[in-house]
Amino acid sequence: MKLVVAVVQDRDSQRLIEKLVSKGLRSTKLASTGGFLKAGNTTLLIGVEDDQVESALAVIRETCKAREQLVTPVVPAGGGAAESYVPYPIEVVVGGATVFVVDVEKFTRF
């Protein structure tokens, strides 16, 4: 058995969960926050049998596409010249998914 941990952008999470359910895959949804953009993410814990890993990864790959987005950086903390800092929007790549596949030693449902 494997545990697939997928960190996805909030706007992709509901569609991803629906597609996983349609494939017979269950998940647990955890709210999380990204470290770079400080934006909301969703972390999904997906328990699958070894032969279902590629199916789960395919659903994640087709649902969570990377895209470009304009963001305004936050004012740097602790800097002495914060009053002269003018934040200009920058284009960054968001979306996609960060996925970890981990061996599960034991699984129990109560």
Task: Please write the tens of the pLDDT for every residue from 7-40.
Answer: 998 889 999 999 999 999 999 999 987 766 566 7
With respect to residue 59, please indicate whether it lies within any of the assigned structural domains: yes
Can you give the CATH number for the domain in which 44 is found?
A: 3.30.70.120
Task: Look up the domain containing 6 and give its range.
Answer: 2-66+95-103
> What's the pTM value of the predicted model, to 2 decimals?
0.76
Residue 72's identity, in one-letter code, is: T
Tell me what pLDDT residue 99 has: 97
> Rounded to whole angstroms, how far apart are CA atoms 96 and 60?
8
C-beta neighbour count of 70 within 10 angstroms: 9
With respect to residue 37, please indicate whether it lies within any of the assigned structural domains: yes
Q: Could you give the percent of the chain with pLDDT greater than 90?
A: 55
With respect to residue 110, please indicate whether it lies within any of the assigned structural domains: no
Query: How many domains is the chain partitioned into structurally?
Result: 1
SS3 category, 10: helix
State the average pLDDT over residues 52-65. Answer: 96
State the average pLDDT over residues 33-62. Answer: 88
With respect to residue 54, please indicate whether it lies within any of the assigned structural domains: yes
Tell me what pLDDT residue 49 has: 95
